[in-house]
Structure 1
């Protein structure tokens, strides 16, 4: 039987894992001892059958949290225990490994849909009766500012990376049981006031909970119907949303620019047309028509069967007229996950695609494919991953695929049906743009063009098209590699450059000071440690700098 990376979108997860009412009733009436037995059963199962999941979290930390929850259970309400169990499973930080969202949300969610745009979190959709809130920016939940609320709910979400949290975690903000268990609201109530801002006016609107089954959304967006309203102007549909709830995939030829646009929102075959047949039809059209550019959009693709990817990769590689830089563009985003991460890895490895959009929701190498573990007393189902998918080198620890060209949507872009991500692909020109900035800087450095390194590095560090590159981290690693390899001057040069690029970063200053101390450049180290203390005297970094400086002064 073929193993596949499972496809988890919000509503599919909900549909697959609804619990029968009898099981729900059982969860509400079992004793504290029975809950504790379930927790221990989960712990023992993980240690016995899934010890390989201790990759991002240690067994010691996991066991510590288990013991903490075990001690708390007699004082907790059933919904708090469910949230606690979900937190335990989410510690592994792999999106497939989870207690499903519906376990917590089935009985009650707030009747709104939130979306995290570039300029904030907005009410993207509402159930009728809440029109006043539609299109408003979220400021507070109860008395808790939204940023604090996000931090509070994050441990409940199986967060693989920040993009996963944006795509699949934001909905937890609408679940009263989660909000209460995580301290966002002080009591478990059916009605919750939100503080919102719209058209320059701040106001409060109270939402009354509804069953999860009443929610109308997919791919993170509201599906308008007789009961639900979307903030987006429905008169026009941008390409990335076209046929979204009718077809898993489609293509459209844009004759004026000789561009083939493809949107694929699943790696499963549609019942109306298999993926193999779709790929055949796509490539036949490309071969028979004047196609000068291919834009392949998987920003909403949550996965499926990654064995379906091969035909697409082979088809692209066999067509050099489109598989070349500047001719092939691949759009990714926060919903790009699971088998579509495998597809993205293959696109990156084997094609000349220019990748555009936001980072993916999945690590490049990841644990996927789950087995169900049913807790004996509560009958809650946990899904634990067992398959390690490694498309990249074993030392590849990238938390996501980042685009060559970073582009996201603002709230106004979405409302007015603009697509700046597609525009970035359509309007791309080679002039002045560096697709691989780290390699570019490395080549300049190897050539001894140190001033060019500084000049180009400063420009790249401040270019929003590269905003997902962690240049500070990458540069710092490079500096320490040179330093530890015996090239002290080069290592210090790179780390000093990082400080020049990021003058407000105490982390960059601390790295430079540590390198200077290692190189016995004590005067420089002391000077930079003092800068850290002046900038952040009361933070952990500031206290560490103070201790280092005191030790250096004693020498």
Structure 2
């Protein structure tokens, strides 16, 4: 009887969040203007990825619609505004965006789909199911719709920190994923080859365990993973921020650091000392340092690790030091990753990081006067890399993702890739390698190697097309038109669907009086994207060439 009463009370608390506006529209509008003025006055430096003009236009549109919106739609709308800056530290906390209940599941995006990785035991039947749709909205469209609410730095940030917004009926309704706000929503799922519908209720947010992006099994929560063993990257997640384990047979030292904060049981400085003492007194042929679950902390704690690595050239050597990164690698751990790439010989393995190389962090809370919502606005620019080297993320030398099947069987393909690596000709720096071949005039080898790189899935996060295109333009700007022609022809062969490549090639062919080839290149653009602006220009170029 007591358990029934507790369940009813919990259910009523969840329902309480689905009420109507508690503030008049004018108060919300005052908060929006207060936020806008505060940003312009004190945080104008945040206008890097979005212009002041576009931000103000979004504010004005939102301001006018507030009288027509329910409270949850206003809260979600505020999050959309703040997320326009695209800095993960500049945000409205999830607890303000979604005040009502959430669905009793944990989601994870594997390389073969979005799966229910964890679930409350009352819904065990859906554990391990692949998500097909939410309501009538296909999951790909649902992800697209909720993305503007998330302060994404890049695609990896969204996969790591954005999926929780799918669990909120308030966000789903505000973003048009479901037509009306309800405490239950039907999801379409697929499991063991069978597609079925499941009507999910909501639970209190506090009832869901908060341990990284994976579910640790408890009395009430189940994980899809086989729990008879635990892979190294998930060991001690509930008790240790960092630990290491020696794989004696392989003479490999595995280290997992999941925070840049000190733990109450051991400071990072003491941990690093213990780590390097072990390295100095044991045979370590390979060091594998895993920060794929590290969301940051205090980046001043990074120094002793970097100093320790630089003082040990026998381990800080290409092929003997591996650094695992991933979608959770963020904030102070991005600083650490930057330092690793600058000062060490580490080979990076895994997925790209969730943070830009250079970024705004260290946010201050700004409380909106009427609603009391706290908006966190970043105020410190962290520039570890030169401005011209800034990118959306740090990408691994060797790209490795995990499938759902690998996860549930406790396989770790990322660690396996680091363990199995041998210096067998794998090109760690594609552009440096190809540039050297170009400089010595070995175009035949360059073409062979470029083709291999373009097709090798281990480079899938490396923007090879963009890098080679930039190289072609640099060569052209230096006056080497024949060299640029070789690069653009190679790019057209490797990426025949790229209208930009065909446009660059056609223009250069036109300059070199290769009129027939130029017309063929411009016609490719018309065939690929007949209604585009480039197609219009291509038609004009063809008409000009025909007159010559």
Query: Shorter-chain TM-score: what band?
Result: over 0.9
- What corresponds to 1:262 in structure 2? 255
Q: Note the C-alpha offset of 1:310.
A: 0.4
Shift in alpha-carbon separation, 1:517–1:367, aligned structure 2, 3 A = farther
CA distance in 1, matches of 2:353, 2:129: 27
Matched, 1:420 2:407: no
1:253-402 matches, cutoff 5 A: 253-402=246-395
Shift in alpha-carbon separation, 1:217–1:539, aligned structure 2, 3 A = farther
Preserved CA contact (<8 Å) 2:76 2:98: no
- What corresponds to 2:431 in structure 1? 438
Preserved CA contact (<8 Å) 1:217 1:223: no
- What corresponds to 1:42 in structure 2? 35
- State the SS of the aligned residue for 1:130: helix
Shift in alpha-carbon separation, 1:190–1:535, aligned structure 2, 3 A = same
Shift in alpha-carbon separation, 1:207–1:543, aligned structure 2, 3 A = farther
Identify the structure with bigger relative contact order (alpha carbons < 8 Å, sequence gap 6+). 1
- What corresponds to 1:83 in structure 2? 76
Q: Note the C-alpha offset of 1:25.
A: 11
Q: Note the C-alpha offset of 1:504.
A: 2.5
Shift in alpha-carbon separation, 1:490–1:213, aligned structure 2, 3 A = same
Preserved CA contact (<8 Å) 1:267 1:308: yes
- What corresponds to 2:189 in structure 1? 196
Preserved CA contact (<8 Å) 1:367 1:388: yes
- What corresponds to 1:101 in structure 2? 94
1:61-210 matches, cutoff 5 A: 61-210=54-203
CA distance in 1, matches of 2:214, 2:132: 20
Matched, 1:406 2:399: yes
Aligned residues: 535
> Which ranges of structure 1 fall in alignment gaps of 5 or more residues?
1-19
CA distance in 2, matches of 1:62, 1:37: 17
Q: Note the C-alpha offset of 1:26.
A: 11
Runs (4+) of structure 1 exceeding 6 A deviation are 23-27
- State the SS of the aligned residue for 1:329: strand
CA distance in 1, matches of 2:191, 2:358: 41
CA distance in 1, matches of 2:35, 2:514: 53
What's the Cα RMSD here?
2.0
- State the SS of the aligned residue for 1:129: helix
Preserved CA contact (<8 Å) 2:17 2:99: no
Matched, 1:212 2:192: no
CA distance in 2, matches of 1:51, 1:257: 53
Can you list the C-alpha shifts for 1:359-415, whole angstroms capped at 9, x where unaligned?
A: 000011111100101111111111000000011112222111111111111001110
Preserved CA contact (<8 Å) 1:105 1:212: no
Q: Note the C-alpha offset of 1:223.
A: 2.4
Shift in alpha-carbon separation, 1:151–1:543, aligned structure 2, 3 A = farther
Greater mean alpha carbon deviation, residues 334-343 or residues 495-504: 495-504
Preserved CA contact (<8 Å) 1:358 1:403: yes
Q: Note the C-alpha offset of 1:519.
A: 5.6
Shift in alpha-carbon separation, 1:289–1:127, aligned structure 2, 3 A = same
Shift in alpha-carbon separation, 1:110–1:517, aligned structure 2, 3 A = farther
Preserved CA contact (<8 Å) 1:216 1:224: no
Report the TM-score, using the length of structure 1 for normalisation: 0.93
CA distance in 2, matches of 1:289, 1:426: 18
- What corresponds to 2:5 in structure 1? none
Q: Note the C-alpha offset of 1:552.
A: 5.9
- What corresponds to 1:11 in structure 2? none
Shift in alpha-carbon separation, 1:277–1:26, aligned structure 2, 3 A = farther
Report the TM-score, using the length of structure 2 for normalisation: 0.94
Matched, 1:252 2:245: yes
Q: Note the C-alpha offset of 1:78.
A: 1.0
Can you list the C-alpha shifts for 1:30-70, whole angstroms capped at 9, x where unaligned?
A: 11111111111111111110111011111111111111111
Preserved CA contact (<8 Å) 1:27 1:378: no
> Which ranges of structure 2 fall in alignment gaps of 5 or more residues?
1-12
